[in-house]
Structure 1
Amino acid sequence: MLYPLGFRREEFEQKDLIGIASTWSQVTPCNMHIDGLAREAAAGAEEAGAKALIFNTITVSDGISMGTEGMKYSLVSREVIADSVETVAAAEGMDGLVAIGGCDKNMPGCLIALTRLNRPSIFVYGGSILPGCYHQQKIDIVSVFEAVGAQAKGDLSLEELAGIESHAIPGPGSCGGMYTANTMACAIEALGMSLPGSSTELAVSKEKRTGCRAAGAAVARLIESGIRPRDILTRKAFENAITVVMALGGSTNAVLHLLAIAHAAEIELSLDDFRRIGKRVPVLADLKPSGRFAVADWTEIGGLPPLLRRLLEKGLLHGDCVTVTGSTLAQNLDRIDDYPTDQEIILPFEKPIKPQGHIVILRGNLAPAGAVAKLTGKEGLRFTGSARVFDSEEGALEGILNGSVVPGNVIVIRYEGPKGGPGMREMLSPTSAVMGRGLGKDVALITDGRFSGGSHGFLVGHICPEAAVGGPLAIVQDGDRITIDAEKEEIRLELPEEEIERRRAAWTPPAPRYTKGVLAKYRALVGSAHLGAVTDGEGLLQEAR
């Protein structure tokens, strides 16, 4: 079967077979260029004496599906990607792998697969997009969503909205702020599973093409040395990744994805690890969505490696963790120069954006198993308001745009969790509408769904247990008082316990929204968000039966 693919007889026994898992498609700009990067990785593997086979897996565009029923397939795609990469590599007996991903779920999906397979492997990020430009202002995908809210408020014309839409995405690459794709790219490099500097090489750069070729060659060396993903993905490595996510003000999706990758690696990791590390790591990066700069600006001054070195020198990283270079993290950073002295993107430890991490783990009678808040400090640390309850994202968006959400409200969006959606949609449309209508400092938004890395404001997601399985969010009513207190790490429904129990006794679960197809299968298998929303957790198959 391999003869028509260009193999010679002697190569079957003499050369290692390296699979190049490509997430190329024309579905999204994040992945439109990855076919070329896959060919570079294959060339690098063959130059190093191996044989390469390129194969594809799926991707979906969060930006296109956002705010629609289609977004329910986004988190599902992480599992499909992981399963498909594992299936091809295991079936074809590949000795090593390079996985190249560009959009949000490609990246953890690929890491989960590489970890399950535990064959010498490297992940390569497809790279960040360049900013768009409109009226001499840098814009990006989040600019579009926020412009929708501004237009609904009457602050922006339809013509201006169309202009922002048509200029926000100038070419290949993932969304250009510290959104989920860039957050996960940096986390994966901190884990040690990408070559140094890979996470901040831009999609349309010479460095990205060179980095892909180097990754192909590096896997050949990993096969020789015998270093495998589970040698790299230790508990210390996950602590390094969490540290970097905190320092960057990264996406809350990193919590969900790092928990899932740790599950695949059989490493104990919990929400409490994010809580513990967040208390000692400041937010240092002034990057979008809440900051001023794009990742492309950060790349110009050196990208991630100088920040890693600063964190290491401050004693916040484990330098002894092995990486895909075969060297330790500390050895990789030994000759890295610091940022220019006049840069304003990465702040000094003495003047951080926030002295502790922006990801705050909350618990309380609304989230007994935990919830994830994203608070950079610009939103305040405490919010008490009256509940405005919606049973879907669409209902919440309509309420925000038509003015029925008012200052002082806590917007509650429920039945959007992993099982309830199913699929745990991101709430970028409602959160962007809030910002566009000028309510960012006047309302809070809580949900058992999750948030885009582009979301910002007073936000709490991943509320567990979710409403669909009888979590407390299910019994909240319009007008109830809700308090979110980041300092006390608490989210509380201000009701007597007797009233809460009365409502619980009267609650009945909603009928499943899907009974056939991939969403029905996902609903049957998926676990809680506080455990990573994995589909292969212990006991889930038995529970489904």
Structure 2
Amino acid sequence: MSDAEQKKPTLRSNFEPGTTRWAVRRAQWLAMGYSEEDLLKPKIAIVNSSSKLSVCYAHLDDVCRVVEQAIRDAGGLPFEIRTVAPSDFVTSAGRQARYLMPSRDLLVNDIEVQVEGAELDGMVLLASCDKTTPGQLMAAARLNVPSVVLPCGYQLGGHCAGKEVDIEEVYKSVGSLKAGSISLADLKAMTCTAITGPGVCAGLATANTMHVLSEALGMALPRSAPIRAGSQALMENAARAGAAIVDLILKDIRPRQILTPAAFRNALRVAVATGCSVNCVRHLAATASEAEMDIDIVAELEALNDTPQITTVRPNGPHRIEDLDKAGGCRGVMRELSDVLDLSVMTVTGKTLGENLADVPEPDRTFIRPLADPFRHEPGLTILRGSLAPDGAVVKVSAVPAEVRTFSGKARVFEDEAVAIKALETHSIKPGDVVVLRGLGPKGGPGTVFAASFMAALIGAGLGAGVAVVTDGELSGLNSGITIGQVMPEAAEGGPLGLVAEGDVISIDIGARRVDLDVSESELAARRAMWRAPDHSQIRGWLGQYAAMVQPLSKGAVLKPMRP
């Protein structure tokens, strides 16, 4: 037996000849045109969430074809599988966006059914919109078969009335319309030019954040993120990913060898240094949970207060996502952070992070600063705690107005985002108010309600520096302003957010990392005695199932393991 034959791994997809599983599958696949030789190759899923519902996914079929050919060229047998394809700006229309967060976990189970059911040997995961990338990372962590995440890129904006416009501007301008500062015709004109190509939202919102963090975790190849959708560079990455997955299978390198506590700490360091989306906290926690890893993502993020911000990509500053791409991307950021990263971690290249970074050139200092000379001497993302958020809350410090570091005001309490937006339209929300949007978390929704539209409207109305927002609902990575998100425990779990009354004073101190409800313990005890958890027992369909199974935000809002 040759050395090559001795090193060749046993593939779980190669069933014992003569068995029922072997015979019926052989008949199926030969009928589809596969050869006898094909049936012995590594069998690899290309997880494709292509959909005609959203521009985020419009280009994925073209990417898939490139990955397929690369897998064949490397000696593997590709199988394209389709999954649910949630879009934060399309799938958010129904039930006040309650389907968005649950769609992430639906996608995880979707992948499990198809990959585990067929006992395939590995996966290439075509990552696109906000929920697909974390869902794919979670699936890789759960299934622990060789996997490569392939970030499929960002869209480009356009121009309107002589100004640059993208989806972030459209999002914020809805508030400007409601405030009367622009006309419906102005907004309509912006929508005509805001998106000029396929891919995810421009800016360092949740989708681009999770693309970048996939590379930071070691689950995507170097030079993967951010990257322009439809570009030659993306197609080259697709070919690299197809070759890489075959190599990972032959070397038997699996996600749980890559997704270690050190890898998560590296990713969190990148998130803090770049001012990533607040939603990355729940998604990283969920991925760690699926990997059955004992790590407290919230506490780990909280410990990174010494990391300054070395990029200022919108909504954190003036630069665009394509600037970060051209400046060096994630690997350029990691090069600048190399002194505070664990370089020994394994990656999908089959090499360590240190080996991957060894030949990375110095990034463009206009957009990626060194640690010693950052854009801001504070973290871009951090955790606040206090009497309103004993288990923590997430704030994107980089998107808070620079002049605001403390804020105190009377609570305006809403349990329906539409009602809050109406109050904004009627000017009943005033500078100095703290808007509480509650009962919108995974348990309260059920399925996290998209509170981001109110925040965007607030910015568009010119109140971003004068009104604070505290919520357990889902925010967008595009949001900016004095926004305290992912308040834990959420209101529906009995957290203090559910006890806030209209007119209560809420105090926020960014520097001290505090968010407090200025109400006596005796008064809170009286309110707690009257509080009742929401009853979702009559909700049918997927949202009802999700309500029965979802765990707290601090655990990433993953579904409870169904164990005896």
1:259 corresponds to 2:285: yes
Structure 1 residue 68: Cα displacement: 5.4
Distance apart, 1:514 and its partner CA: 5.5
Cα distance in 2 for partners of 1:223, 1:419 equals 39
Shift of 1:65: 4.2
Superimposed CA distance per residue, residues 151-190 of structure 1 (whole angstroms, 9 cap, x where no aligned partner): 1111111111111122111120100100001111111101
2:57 to 28, 31, 43: 31
Q: Does 1:475 align with 2:502?
A: no
Match in the other structure for 2:78: 52
Query: Shift in Å at residue 67 of structure 1?
Result: 6.8
Query: Do the aligned partners of residues 70 and 445 (structure 1) sit closer, same or farther apart at CA in structure 2, a change above 3 Å counting?
Result: closer
Q: How does 1:235-384 map to 2 (within 5 A)?
A: 235-270=261-296, 271-277=298-304, 279-312=305-338, 315-340=339-364, 344-376=366-398, 378-379=401-402, 380-384=404-408
Runs of 4+ in 1 over 6 A off after TM superposition: none
**Structure 1 position 56, deviation (Å):** 0.6
Q: Which runs of 5+ in 2 are unaligned?
A: 1-27
Letter in 1 for 2:521: E
Partners in 1 of 2:314 and 2:193 — Cα distance? 18
1:437 to 461, 483, 492: 461
User: 1:282-329 CA deviation, whole Å, 9 max, x = no partner?
Assistant: 1111101131122112222332222211111xx121111111001111
Q: 1:22 aligns with which of 48, 55, 63?
A: 48
Distance 1:393 1:541 in 2: 36
Mapping for residues 47-196 of structure 1, pairs under 5 Å: 47-66=73-92, 69-196=95-222
Give, in angstroms, the shift of residue 417 of structure 1: 0.8
- Cα distance change, pair 433–184 in 1 and its aligned pair in 2 (3 A): same
CA distance in 1, matches of 2:433, 2:525: 24
Instruction: Please give the alpha-carbon distance, in whole angstroms, between the structure 2 residues aligned to 1:156 and 1:300.
Output: 34
CA contact 1:418–1:424 (8 Å) conserved in 2: yes
Tell me, in whole angstroms, the C-alpha distance in 2 between the residues paired with 1:508 and 1:348. Answer: 51
- For residue 375 of structure 1, report the CA deviation from its aligned partner: 1.7
Letter in 2 for 1:115: A
What is the alpha-carbon distance in structure 1 between the residues aligned to residue 91 and residue 182 of structure 2? 24
Alpha-carbon distance in 2 for matches of 1:36, 1:27: 16
CA RMSD of aligned residues (A): 1.6
Q: What is the correspondence of 1:514-525 to structure 2 with a 5 Å cutoff?
A: 515-525=539-549
Number of the residue aligned with 2:238: 212
Distance 1:385 1:430, change over 3 A: same
Superposed displacement of residue 70, structure 1:
4.8
Q: 1:5 aligns to what?
A: 32
Is the contact made by 1:197 and 1:303 (CA closer than 8 Å) also made in structure 2?
A: yes
Q: Corresponding residue for 1:223?
A: 249
Range with bigger deviation, 526-535 or 393-402 = 393-402
2:334 alignment partner, SS class:
helix
Match of 1:502 in 2: 526
Change (3 A) 1:339 1:490: same
Name which one, 1 or 2, has greater alpha-carbon Rg: 2
Instruction: Give the superposition deviation at 1:517.
Output: 0.5
Q: Deviations over 1:241-270 (max 9, x none)?
A: 101111111101100000000111122222
| In 2, Cα distance between equivalents of 1:482 and 1:67 | 31
Contact 2:108/2:138, CA 8 A, preserved across alignment: yes
Alpha-carbon distance in 1 for matches of 2:101, 2:258: 25
Aligned residue in 2 for 1:406: 430
Query: Which structure 1 segments of 5+ residues have no match?
Result: none
Alignment partners' CA distance in 2, 1:195 and 1:201: 12
1:306–1:336 Cα contact (<8 Å) kept: yes
2:56 is matched by which residue type in structure 1? C
Instruction: Give runs of aligned pairs for residues 193-204 of structure 1, distance below 5 A.
Output: 193-204=219-230
How far apart, CA to CA, are the structure 2 residues paired with 1:445 and 1:38? 41
Residue type of the partner of 2:442?
P
How far off is 1:541 after superposition?
A: 7.2
Aligned residues: 534
Query: Identity of paired residues, percent?
Result: 36
1:451 deviates by 0.9
CA contact (8 A) 1:131 1:294 kept: no
Q: Distance between the aligned counterparts of 1:470 and 1:241, measured in 2?
A: 31
Secondary structure at the aligned position of 1:9 is classed as coil
